[in-house]
Structure 1
Amino acid sequence: MIGPEERRHLMSGPRSGQVAGGVGTVDVLACEGNGTEILSRAQAVLLTILEYSEAEWPAVEEWRALLPSWFVAACGEEMRREDAERWLTWWRTLGPADKVRAESERRWTLADWLYWLNPLERQWFWWDAKAEQDGTLRVTVEVSGWPTALGALDWLLRAAGAVEIVHEESWPG
């Protein structure tokens, strides 16, 4: 999906009868938060990303000034190599459930998040979103292949206020 088309999807969803490309879509549920607020915040961040996705990709320090301050503040501090290795060594001692919990609680650094939003690395594209009455936000993304890396989207939604993230795949056919 190209930038202007994704921008339209971000603001008003797909056109009537429009079918997703790639291998299909994945619904990402942002639970236990204010779905309307999470959507508004995620849109603000992604609109900024899309503004620069067809130009020269800014450096991390430039992004700090371009992105909403609440998002930059939500990101974790950049780790020195030694700290990252220490965290990974600790993480490897955990059981499977504890590894999942540790990963879901860990804040992404801005540099790590931006790496996965870089147009050369992105594997998902905003298709549609709907804030549901129970406070859940349902975001539908078009994916170019499966499996696909959705962690950057998960972090965006968590930073925007979601407490829990759930993925639901739906394939064409």
Structure 2
Amino acid sequence: MIVNIQARGTSPSLTKFSEALRSSLRVDAEGAEVLPEWLRQEFTVESTPAEKAEWLNKWRMESSEGQARMEREKGWEMSNWLYWISGENGFWEMKDIVQGDGESLVLVLEVVDWPVPVSALSWLAEKTGVVMEVPAF
């Protein structure tokens, strides 16, 4: 199924969002150095396996609200974020990024089912000052 997500913002913020997203889709072929430097600085430091296990154990004991808080506070590690953006996640794949008018983009996703977890896209939108309009089905 194809789902279109609208991204709205100023021309500079949409350009920043689009360039970061397009570069992230090239990482598998060209390496992480294609990502803009500002984006690489936004990621949290990669955790060790022991740190990941400890965090996950704490997360499992939290309420839904506590889990959401922990996720926000932890931020995104580059490898995890790229996993979701790349399409390897099995839930969705970026098919196209279509320039709309000067203040919008359309992200064309091929999805297995809806809704799908698009928090990696939402995080990038937040970091670039873009507002995503995710459809409700």
Fold-level match, TM-score > 0.5?
Answer: yes
Q: Which residue of 145, 149, 155 maps to 2:112?
A: 145
Aligned counterpart, 2:93? 124
Larger radius of gyration: 1
Aligned counterpart, 1:43? 18
Aligned counterpart, 1:18? none
RMSD: 3.3
- Give the C-alpha shift of residue 40 in structure 1: 1.7
Q: Percent same amino acid at aligned positions?
A: 21
Q: TM-score, normalised by structure 2?
A: 0.71
Where in structure 2 are the equivalents of 1:88-107 lying within 5 Å? Answer: 88-107=56-75
Alignment-mate amino acid for residue 24 of structure 1: I
Alpha carbons of structure 1 residues 44 and 132: separation in structure 2 relative to 1, 3 Å: closer
Which blocks of at least 5 consecutive residues in structure 2 are unaligned? none
Work out the CA distance in 2 between the residues paired with 1:77 and 1:151. 19
Alpha carbons of structure 1 residues 38 and 146: separation in structure 2 relative to 1, 3 Å: farther
1:47-96 CA distances to partner (integer Å, 9 max, x unpaired)? 2234x37xx634xxx41x22101100001110011111121122222211
Q: Does structure 1 residue 110 correspond to structure 2 residue 78?
A: yes
Q: Does structure 1 residue 73 correspond to structure 2 residue 73?
A: no
Aligned residues: 133
1:3-56 CA distances to partner (integer Å, 9 max, x unpaired)? xxxxxxxxxxxxxxxxxxxx23253667xxxx2243221111122234x37xx6
Aligned counterpart, 2:2? 24
Work out the CA distance in 2 between the residues paired with 1:49 and 1:154. 15
Tell me, what secondary structure is at the counterpart of 1:25?
strand
User: Between Structure 1 and Structure 2, which shows a larger proportion of helix residues?
Assistant: 2
- Give the C-alpha shift of residue 145 in structure 1: 1.7
Q: TM-score, normalised by structure 1?
A: 0.59
